[in-house]
């Protein structure tokens, strides 16, 4: 038994030649959904900011704490609550943390400075 497979709309080779002659503008555009290799992936790290319940403790603002990251570039910073349940008592930790967005390649260095990866 002999089975032939061919182009159902005519001569397949003539279609390929026409595409090649059309030039690069007729070629499919690159997929913009793929990640850009020039952009590094960013992650967030955090550290408790020292605030305690009932207004006690000495709160460290994000700009001051960012200096603890030394030469690691910080793209964004914010103050957030860690969301953990805690005892309601004056002087107990409030659960507020300073969160910093950094390049993923700097995660190990940030962990060495006492920060923790922010996973939410």
- Is the pLDDT at 13 greater than 90? The verdict is no
Name residues whose C-beta falls within 8 Å of residue 82's C-beta, 6 or more positions apart in sequence.
46, 48, 95, 96, 97
DSSP 8-state symbol, 117: E
Domain total of the chain: 1
- Distance, in Å, from the CA atom of 46 to the CA atom of 62, rounded to the nearest integer, reads 10
- 107: in domain: yes
Q: What is the pLDDT of residues 74-97, one digit of tens each?
A: 999 999 999 999 999 999 999 999
Q: CA torsion sign, 72 to 75 to 41 to 115?
A: positive
The pLDDT value given to residue 35: 58
Please compute the mean of the pLDDT values over residues 84-113 and round it to a whole number: 95
Q: Is residue 68 part of a domain?
A: yes
Residue-wise pLDDT tens digits, 45-57: 999 999 999 989 8
Mean pLDDT computed over 53-65: 93
pLDDT confidence bin for 120, thresholds 50/70/90: confident
Q: pLDDT band at residue 109, thresholds of 50, 70 and 90?
A: very high
Q: Mean pLDDT of all residues in the chain?
A: 83
Residue 61 in domain: yes
The answer to whether residue 56 sits within a structural domain is: yes
Query: What integer pLDDT is reported at residue 32 of this predicted model?
Result: 58
Does a structural domain hold residue 51?
Answer: yes
83 within a domain of the structure (yes/no):
yes
What is the arithmetic mean of pLDDT over 58-77? 95
Domain containing 99: what range?
A: 42-117
């Amino acid at each position: 038994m002999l089975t032939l497979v061919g182009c159902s709309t005519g001569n397949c080779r003539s279609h390929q030649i026409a595409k090649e002659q059309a030039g690069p503008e007729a070629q499919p555009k690159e997929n913009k959904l793929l990640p850009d290799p020039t952009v590094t992936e960013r992650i967030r790290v955090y550290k408790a900011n020292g605030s305690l319940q009932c207004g006690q403790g000495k709160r460290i603002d994000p700009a001051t704490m960012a200096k603890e990251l030394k030469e690691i570039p910080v793209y964004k910073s914010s103050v957030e609550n860690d969301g953990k349940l805690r005892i309601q008592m004056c002087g107990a930790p409030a659960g507020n943390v300073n969160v910093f967005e950094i390049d993923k390649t700097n995660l190990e260095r940030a962990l060495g400075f006492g920060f923790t990866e922010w996973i939410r």
